[in-house]
Amino acid sequence: MARFTRIQVAQTMHEQGMVPLFYHANVELGKQALAACYRGGARLLEFTNRGDFAHEVFAELNKYALRELPGMMLGAGSVADAGTAALFIQLGATFIVSPSLREDVALTCNRRKILYSPGCGSLTEIGRAEELGCEIVKLFPGDLYGPNFIKAIQGPQPWTSIMPTGGVSPTKENLTGWFGAGAVCVGMGSQLISSDILKNGDFDKLETRVREALALIKKIRQA
C-alpha cells in the first residue's frame, strides 16, 4: 500500500521540479543509485518497468526506501496495462507512469487513489486524461514536441500541469526552455542517471548531478 497520498506526490513533483528515472536489473546497484539520488536531494523517483522481473527489483528497492530513506516516494514507469499497474501498486508504488494514455490504468489508479501520469501528445489526449483524474500529464517523447508545445497548451488551458520526458537534460539552456514554456516538472533519465554511471558505480557523481540539477531548476524558477 502506498505510504503517500496522490496529493502529496503531486505536490512533491511540483516542488522538486524533476523526476529522476532509471531501470537496472541488479537490486544492489539500484539501491545505490536510489540512495545517491536521495543524498542529492531527490524525494521522488521513477523506476521503469523495462525488464523481466522488474517488479521484483522494484519491490526490494521500495522496501529499502521505506526502511532507509525517509520521505522517498518511489513510483513505477513504462506501465502499459491495468494488471501491471495493480501489481506495482500492490508492491507500494506511490505513482504510476505510462508512455501513452491508458484509461484502464487510470481507473485502476483512481480506485486506490494513486497518482497516474500518462503520456499524451495532443490537446485531446490531455483533456481526456484530466477528465480521468490525471493531475500531471507526461509529454512524451518530449524532444519531438519541444517547449513550444507546452507553451501553446498553456494558452487555452493554464490549469494543465505537464511533465516533459525524453530529450530533457540537466543544462541551463534545456531546462530554461522547458520551465520557461510552463512545464511543472521534468522527467530525466539517461541524461541524469547515465549508463556509464551505473556501469562504473560512480554514485558520488550521480549525487552531484542530482544536487546540481535540482539547484539549477530552483534558480531558473526564481528567475
Active-site positions read 46, 138
CA gap 87, 177 in Å, rounded? 36
Q: Which three cell numbers stand for residue 104?
A: 484502464
Q: Which three cell numbers stand for residue 148?
A: 513550444
Length of the chain: 223
CA gap 110, 219 in Å, rounded? 34
Q: What separation in angstroms does the CA of 145 have from each of 93, 181, 211?
A: 29, 12, 27
Q: The dihedral of CA 173, 183, 94, 218: what is its sign?
A: positive
Query: 17: closest CA among 174, 222, 217?
Result: 217
